[in-house]
């Protein structure tokens, strides 16, 4: 009888040890998954930031500046008074030999009635997360970066004549200084559960908008799509010292 009691006590101890090992193992696996998710998110964010930086580097490349200021260039096409507030959009595609080409750009803006217009130049400028064409920054098809360029009017409270050309006489026709904002939105559709159709719908929204109904950032956030937005402001003009 005593022997059976000892066997029963041993069995209980073994079961308790197995239960403790199972709990410890489960906690260890859960902690590992959390650490893996943190590492993955950190790597994804770093990769998206690098792609946004690469796009901005091309915008600031001095060898591209003259071409960008041409009538059909990245800045030249959008800098007229009639285009103030509109966004010139294009996808930074690694397979393209040119950083910007007007034939691969789109124009998006809100008209006077508050309706979003995104087809004035066609739809070739918007990145597409699905399909067979490569709209990604590399052949790895991990990150896509969409760039938008828009000129803005002077902000309220600006100093008088701060945008005037300095150091020239009146006989030299020069462009006045103008402020331009460049948004580079990088995202990773492959680690998102959102459909390609929904992601592509977000990419046909405004980068420079505080209205959630028309904002790329708000749309991607609602879909839980990993993304980063790099915003840079420049002052373009001519100056002689």
pLDDT band at 8 (very low <50, low <70, confident <90, very high): low
Q: Which of 7-16, 152-161, 182-191, 228-237 has the highest mean pLDDT?
A: 182-191
Instruction: Using alpha carbons, select from 163, 170, 159, 169 the residue that is nearest to residue 236.
Output: 163
Q: What is the pLDDT of residue 162?
A: 47
Q: How far apart are CA 146 and CA 88, in angstroms?
A: 11
**Pair 98, 91: CB distance under 8 Å:** no
- Mean pLDDT is lowest, of 9-13, 89-93, 170-174, 179-183, for 170-174
Give pLDDT tens digits for 100-141: 999 999 999 999 899 999 998 999 999 999 878 889 988 888
Token output for 228: 């980063």
Instruction: Using alpha carbons, select from 239, 230, 109 the residue that is nearest to residue 181.
Output: 230
Give pLDDT tens digits for 73-82: 999 998 887 8
Kindly report the three-state secondary structure assignment for every residue of 108-154.
EEECCCCCEECCECECCCCCCCCCCCCCCCCCCCCCEEEEEEEEECC
Q: How far apart are CA 25 and CA 17, in angstroms?
A: 12
Average pLDDT, the chain: 81
For the cut 50, the answer to whether the pLDDT of residue 16 exceeds it is: yes
Which H helix or E strand runs over 106? strand 105-110
Q: How far apart are CA 189 and CA 200, in angstroms?
A: 10
Q: How far apart are CA 135 and CA 92, in angstroms?
A: 8
Give pLDDT tens digits for 45-83: 888 999 999 999 999 988 888 888 888 999 999 888 788
Percent of the chain with pLDDT over 70: 78
Mapped onto helix, strand or coil, the DSSP state of residue 43 is: helix
Q: What is the pLDDT of residue 118?
A: 94
Using only C-alpha atoms, the chain has a radius of gyration, in whole angstroms, of 27
141: left (phi over 0), alpha (psi -120 to 50) or beta: left
**Pair 64, 58: CB distance under 8 Å:** yes
For the cut 80, the answer to whether the pLDDT of residue 44 exceeds it is: yes
């Amino acid at each position: 009888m005593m022997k059976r009691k000892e066997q029963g006590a041993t069995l209980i101890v073994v079961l308790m040890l197995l239960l403790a090992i199972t709990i410890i193992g489960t906690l260890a696996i859960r902690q590992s998954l959390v650490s893996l998710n943190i590492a993955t998110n950190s790597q994804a964010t770093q990769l998206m930031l690098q792609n946004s930086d690469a796009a901005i580097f091309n915008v600031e490349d001095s060898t591209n500046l003259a071409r960008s200021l041409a009538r059909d260039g990245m800045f030249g096409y959008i800098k007229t008074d009639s285009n103030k507030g509109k966004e010139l959009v294009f996808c930074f595609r690694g397979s393209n030999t040119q950083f910007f080409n007007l034939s691969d750009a789109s124009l998006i803006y809100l008209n006077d009635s508050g309706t979003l217009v995104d087809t004035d130049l066609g739809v070739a400028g918007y990145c597409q997360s699905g399909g067979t064409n490569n709209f990604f920054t590399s052949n790895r098809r991990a990150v896509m970066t969409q760039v938008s360029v828009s000129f803005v009017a002077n902000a309220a409270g600006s100093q008088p004549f701060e945008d005037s050309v300095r150091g020239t006489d009146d006989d030299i026709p020069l462009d006045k200084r103008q402020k331009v904002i460049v948004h580079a939105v990088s995202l990773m559709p492959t680690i998102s559960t959102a459909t390609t159709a929904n992601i592509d719908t977000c990419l046909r929204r405004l980068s420079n908008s505080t209205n959630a109904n028309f904002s790329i950032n708000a749309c991607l956030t609602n879909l839980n799509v990993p993304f980063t937005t790099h915003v840079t402001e420049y002052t373009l003009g001519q100056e002689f010292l």
